[in-house]
Amino acid sequence: MGDDQNDGGDADAKDDTPALSADEGKTPADRKAQADFFVKLAQQALARGDAVAAASNFNKAREFNPRDADAVAGLGEVAMQQGYFEDAAVHLQAAARMAPRSARVHMLHGRALLGAGHAKQAAAAFKRALKLKPDFPAAREGYDQAAALGG
């Protein structure tokens, strides 16, 4: 019967050392690399039309880098793909603040605003994109659409 009793040996000892979180001990470069990895996965899912996987991976990227403009913009793209233009505009406005020199983000913000029925604001976003990248057909087309709608 002595074999069935716990004699306090190491096999049953509880380790009181706190476990490291997934982020503890990682350098900023490690966190950026992890965020970039999940952004790429999310962009692939978005290209396939898998909004759920895309949103999940963009959110995972933000866990590693909350200020990742590509991840925030990606959440805006997911919202647009689902027809939630107001939500998309919020995400893309935040992304534009994080990456003010990104013509692509300003163009996407313009698309979201246009989809939400905000032609004047959309025209301004497309204009910012064109100022950064004058030869940007998607921004030019968006600006022309917004202007035709009174923007």
**What is the maximum span of the chain, computed from C-alpha positions, in angstroms?**
89
Query: In 82-134, where does DSSP find H-type helix?
Result: 85-98, 103-115, 119-132
Question: At residue 46, does pLDDT exceed 60?
Answer: yes
User: What are the tokens at 49?
Assistant: 């039309």
Task: For residues 52-75, give the mean pLDDT.
Answer: 96
Angle subtended at Cα 73 by Cα 71 and Cα 79, rounded to the nearest 5 degrees? 105
Give pLDDT, residue 28.
85
Mean of the per-residue pLDDT values of the chain: 88
pTM higher than the cut 0.75: yes
Give pLDDT, residue 79.
97
CA distance linking residue 139 with residue 137, whole number of Å: 5
Question: At residue 85, does pLDDT exceed 80?
Answer: yes
To which residue do tokens 């990895």 refer?
Answer: 37
By mean pLDDT, which of 3-7, 54-58, 123-127, 133-137 is the weakest?
3-7
Residue 23 or 70, more confident = 70
Span 113-146, pLDDT tens digits? 999 999 999 999 999 999 999 999 999 999 999 9
Task: For residues 63-72, give the mean pLDDT.
Answer: 95
Percent of the chain past pLDDT 70, that is, above it, reads: 83
